[in-house]
Structure 1
Amino acid sequence: MNKAQLIEQMAEQAQLTKAEAARALEALLATVTATLARGGDVTVVGFGSFVVEERAARTGRNPKTGEPVAIPAAKIPKFRPGKAFKDAVNG
């Protein structure tokens, strides 16, 4: 499912126009992004949590030359599904 299909499904299930559903989706994504950028977490009970984890600096290899390459530390956004969501997906 792509973004347009998601908006269409949201509009149908929530009885909204596609424009209203698109604004709601954009607001959700912007809020999650801004919260994670500030270092916070977003938890939706029964669905899951969006968190930021730190990845340590490490040494990798250039696949073409085999030379070592320094990979800097980074903050990585992750999603952890909740139990109800996992149960729904697994039947």
Structure 2
Amino acid sequence: MEVFNMTKKEFVDAFAKKGELKIKDSERLVAAFLETVEDALLKGEGVRFIGFGSWEVKERAAREVTNPQTKKKIKVEAKKVVKFKVGKPLADKVAEQKVAKKATKKK
């Protein structure tokens, strides 16, 4: 299950605040960043930010899978996918964060 806590608008606002920018400038810079990453990936190039992470295009091989409902075998064509690999410094910072305890039901 994927959980997204920050929308693009919230990111633009946070980026503007941290960079002491006007919202319009922040929107323009974020859009330029995203377009640049997209352009590189569409050309088959990777994008790497040392210490943060990297995006790259990988080819997923063709394979045969089973539909869990019908049990029929289905051929899935090869396709290109974008992979993101987090950099070690960022991974270490995230790993240092305390894990929130889940609330438990009282019996």
State the TM-score, normalized to the length of structure 2. Answer: 0.79
Paired residue for 2:99? none
Letter of the 1:76 partner, please give it. V
Structure number having the greater strand percentage: 1
Runs of 4+ off more than 4 Å: none
Is 1:61–2:66 an aligned residue pair? yes
User: What is the Cα-based RMSD across aligned positions, in Å?
Assistant: 1.1
SS in 2 for 1:90: helix
Structure number with greater CO (CA < 8 Å, separation at least 6) is: 1
Show CA shifts across 1:52-78 (max 9, x none).
111100011233322211100011101
Paired residues in the alignment total: 91
Q: Which structure's CA Rg is the greater one? A: 2
Paired residue for 1:38? 43
Is 1:7–2:9 an aligned residue pair? no
Structure number having the greater helix percentage: 1
Give the percent of matched residue pairs that are identical in Structure 1 and Structure 2: 36
How many Å apart are 1:44 and its aligned residue?
Answer: 0.7
Any stretches of 5+ residues in structure 1 without a counterpart?
none
State the TM-score, normalized to the length of structure 1. Answer: 0.91
